[in-house]
Amino acid sequence: MHELGVVFHMVDLLEDVGREQGLTRVSEVVVDLGEVSGVVTELFEDAWEWASNRHDLLRGARLRVNCIEAVTVCNSCGKTYPTVAHGRICPHCASPDTELLRGNELNIREIEAC
């Protein structure tokens, strides 16, 4: 389960920010999680609950996950489409010359501290 490794990295980043900003407690962390990031939301949330409660700064902190829809653009026709429904082949012109615009990210959007 690589979600636990991702959460460990996130906890390290949050503790660094906490030290830099003189925070004593974080009450909520908001994360943007891409639909095709490879991170399973339920496992990520379970890993967060387990790991965050082992750190004084994060104990009891709520994790809020914003799911970001994966969108691909076709370099041939210029149209965008939902990636998960159609994959790498453009449903408008059948070109394989496509690029993922968004949907593979995992970003800390917001930290709420007490």
Reported as a single tens digit per residue, the pLDDT across 42-93 is: 999 999 999 999 999 999 999 999 999 999 999 999 999 999 999 999 999 9
Distances (CA, A) of 15 to 20, 38, 41, 61, 85: 9, 24, 22, 13, 38
Question: Of the candidates 36, 37, 58, 56, which has an alpha carbon nearest to the alpha carbon of residue 47?
Answer: 58
CB atoms < 10 A from the CB of 72, how many? 24
On whether residue 37 sits in a domain, the answer given is yes
Confidence at 1, pLDDT banded by 50, 70, 90: low
Is the pLDDT reported for residue 32 higher than 60? yes
The phi and psi torsions of 50 (rounded to 5 degrees) equal -65, -50
Q: What is the pLDDT, as a whole number, of residue 68?
A: 98
On whether residue 48 sits in a domain, the answer given is yes
For position 12, which CATH number holds? 3.30.2320.50
Q: Domain range spanning residue 19?
A: 2-69+103-113
On whether residue 76 sits in a domain, the answer given is no
Verdict on whether the full-model pTM lies above 0.95 = no
Say how far apart CA 75 and CA 51 lie, in whole Å. 42
Question: Of the candidates 70, 18, 67, which has an alpha carbon nearest to the alpha carbon of residue 44?
Answer: 67
Q: What is the pLDDT, as a whole number, of residue 72?
A: 98
- Residues 3 and 40: beta-carbon distance below 8 Å: yes
Confidence at 114, pLDDT banded by 50, 70, 90: confident
Domain total in the chain: 1
In the chain, what percentage of residues exceed pLDDT 90? 97
Indicate the SS3 state at residue 102: strand
Pairing of strands 71-74, 26-34: unpaired
On whether residue 108 sits in a domain, the answer given is yes
